[in-house]
Every structure is written in structure tokens, then in C-alpha cells.
Chains A and B, each alone.
Chain A
């Protein structure tokens, strides 16, 4: 762990969604171990801007691991080598002086590259729009304890609600499948009283939308849960499968 590192980056540059992209080599000097990965890219971009070159476009927003914007593949791993970390939370101290780092955008048919590292993740929004919400009107907050929810159930729903829709699951999946995302977004609602009401309709329409958008079929390779910055488990996928298979014979009504 050295405080002043020199890194050799290979970054995917692509003009727009229609152009063919390719890797460009960049040398970044004076990288501090306390910088985040995005700060390192900012430094590179400032240098590029100073030289009159086109800065690297990448998505970012909150820079504290809750918005899910900072999507990129770092040395073949979604959000880089850290467990349960987003790119913005990744510190440069995980790298060594002289390291070569290859940075690519998410690659999936459903996530087209817009420019450089920025991809269009609106496919995930479309899955949410297909039913990832509660339509029934519940009125004001109910009397405390009038709706009983077990602690473990509430915890599990909360674990799934931690999903930030960053796209790492589909990006890391060898089949570019969005099952972990869809599982998290159905599970967070289906387990709780308010969401349970429409659970069958919801799981049907969300899976239908997921398939339509061109995501692949899950083959239980588990790379999604390894890549998930929020540590959501494939147990949620099994739960969603159970719910979906149940709809073959039963409806909400």
C-alpha cells in the first residue's frame, strides 16, 4: 500500500451507442490510496480536459453506495474486487503501484452502452414499472401492531429492499439475467402485508417484462449474489420462482 501510485488504465471508449468502441490506454500518476475509484477517474478526466481531450464518461451520483449509478466492470469484476462494494466505495488502496486496470461498461443486450462506461439501465426501471409497486390504497399508517409481521420476515424483506438497482447482477451473470434484481424487487413487497395482496399479479408481470427486455435465463451460476453490492442472496430467486410457479395454478383472486 503506497500512497503515491502510478496506474496503467485500459478504459473502454465508445462515442455513442451506434459506434464501435475500443480500449484506450491511460497512465494516471499520483494516485492516493485514500481516493475512491471514481476520484481516481475524476483526476484522469481533469488531466484529459486540460489536454483538450474528451473526458471519460461514466455514471455516478451519490458516491456513498446507495444510488447504484456507478456501474463499471473493473478487471472483470462488477464494481471491482471488493465484496459488497460499489465502484464509488472502492478505495484505491486495494490496488498496488504499477497495476494495470481494465475498465469496461456493463455488457448486456438490455443495457446498451450510451457512451464510454455509461450504459442505459432503464431496462430495470421498466421491470419496476411492470409491477414493482403497491396499487392498493392502504390509507393512513395503521395502528401499531394491527398488522403482525415476524422479525425474520421483516428482516428478509428489508435485505431485499436494500437493492439499489445498480445492474451488477445482470452485468456479472454469464447469461445477462436480471433474476436477482427482479427477485429482490418482488420479494421486498411480497413478504409484507401491503405487498402480499398483489403478489401473484406482480410476479407474473415483472417476470414477463424481464424476459421481453432481452435478459437471459438464470442458470444458477451465483455470480449475481457474489457481485451484488448489497449482498442479496439467490434465496430470493428461489422464493420468486416458488411464487411464480404457484401462479400456474392460482391467481390473486
Chain B
């Protein structure tokens, strides 16, 4: 095996892929969240923002990179979870929560990750590849604003969205710090700061995205 392939087959190599893709996705979520603010400004702002993204020439390249990040993260994550279950064939009879080390978030990473994966597929299916509304009087501009309001007018959609965002917050509350630790950024000087940032980030994305879903629900499909 060449050095590069054996690097990515090693435990540290796999973890570094998880960390790098994870941190990139952390960055993507911020961009997504900031983009959503256009929704509050109004239908024109939001539709023009999405039209600007969709009509951008390099969008397919960016989408392919983003898809690759998600797929790599999910693939390596599931592989690690599977291998780790093999590393201890007989489990302990007693598992004490000593309050030291492991947290709820860190021990549930594969589960919250799976919820996010399912959410992501449905999210693309329902919105990106969902109903195609057109903005009246504007050729080729998709009315994403209307789509969002119609989609989130159903309480079930809002509830599922919030469940997924809580999972995302739990996942990133460990993942954000964990990525830095894996990549070797760990020092008593800033470890506490990274830990707090991880929680702050998790609250920001979890509450931030949920806010938009609730806000969209309160618009009653835009028919008020």
C-alpha cells in the first residue's frame, strides 16, 4: 500500500478526514444560516439571493464539492462507528457514568449523525428538488420564498425540522471541538476557549435554523 493510501486507512488518517470535512461543513452551515436572513428581509431579497446562487456558473462545482464533503464525512463516520463496535466484541456489564470524560453528545455521534443524514436527504428532496414555483413577471426565477412558507406551514414539517436541528446542535457541540483536537490543535492555553466555542456554535446553528422554521410557520404559507 502506498503511503498516502495507508495514511487514509489508518485511524488517525480517517479521523483527520472526519475533522477536515466536518470543519468545512461547519463553515457551510454558517453561510447557509447567513443566507437565510434574506428570508426576513422579504420575498424579493430571498428569491434574488437564491437566483444569484443558482445562476452562478461555478455552482455545480461548488455543489459537487459540498456533496463530496457530506459523503466523505458520512462514509468515514459510519466506517469508524462500525470498526469501533468491532474493537470490543464483549461489552461491559456495568457502565458507570462517572461524570468524567464522555458527554451525551460525544457518545451519540453516530446516532445524531444518522439523523442529520436522513434529514439532509429529505431536505434536498423537499426543498431543492421540491415543488417548482415561479416568481410572477420574472422569467426563470424560482419562488423559493413561497416554497419555504408552504413547506413550513405544516406543523409536522416544522417539528421534524426542529428535531433534526437539535440533533445537529448536539452533533456539532462535540464535533466542533473534536475536530480541532483530532487535527492536533489542543493546548491548555486555548482548549477551554475551543470547548466554549463548540457549545456556542451548536446553540447558534441549532437555534438559528429552528428560528427560521418557526418564523416560516408563523407566516401561514404567506396567505395572511
* A interface residues (Cβ-Cβ under 8 A, vs B): 12, 23, 73, 75-77, 81, 83, 102, 104, 107-110, 172, 174-177, 179, 207-208, 210-211, 214-227, 234-235, 237-245, 247-248
Contacts and interface: CB of A to CB of B under 8 A. Distances in A.
A221 B182 contact: no
A243 B3 CA distance: 15
A223 to B, nearest CB: 4
A83 B99 CA distance: 12
Contacts of B7: 247-248
A179 B15 CA distance: 12
A219 B106 contact: yes
Contacts of B88: 107-109, 175-176, 216
A235 B182 contact: no
Given A104-B94, A226-B98, A219 B109 contact: yes
Contact of B185 (A81, A226, A238): A238
Nearest to A240: B12
B95 to A, nearest CB: 5
B89 interface: yes
Contact of B106 (A108, A221, A224, A239): A221
B80 interface: yes
A175 B84 contact: yes
B24 interface: no
Contacts of B106: 219-222
Interface string B62-85: 000000000000000000100110
A25 to B, nearest CB: 13
Contact of B15 (A73, A218, A223, A243): A218
Contacts of A23: 93
Nearest to B7: A248
A141 B97 CA distance: 48
Contacts of A243: 184
Nearest to A81: B98
Contacts of B4: 248
B11 A177 contact: yes
Interface size class, chain B: 35 or more
B184 A239 contact: yes
A241 B102 contact: no
B137 interface: no
A154 to B, nearest CB: 17
A174 B102 contact: yes
Identify the interface centre among B3, B87, B90, B184: most chain A CB within 10 Å of its CB.
B87
B52 to A, nearest CB: 37
A221 B110 CA distance: 13
Given A174-B102, A242-B184, A211 B10 contact: yes
Contact of A217 (B83, B100, B183): B83
Interface string B170-206: 0000100110011111111001000000000000000
Contacts of B94: 73, 75-76, 102, 104
B87 A215 contact: yes
B9 to A, nearest CB: 8
B129 to A, nearest CB: 33
B91 interface: yes
B27 to A, nearest CB: 20
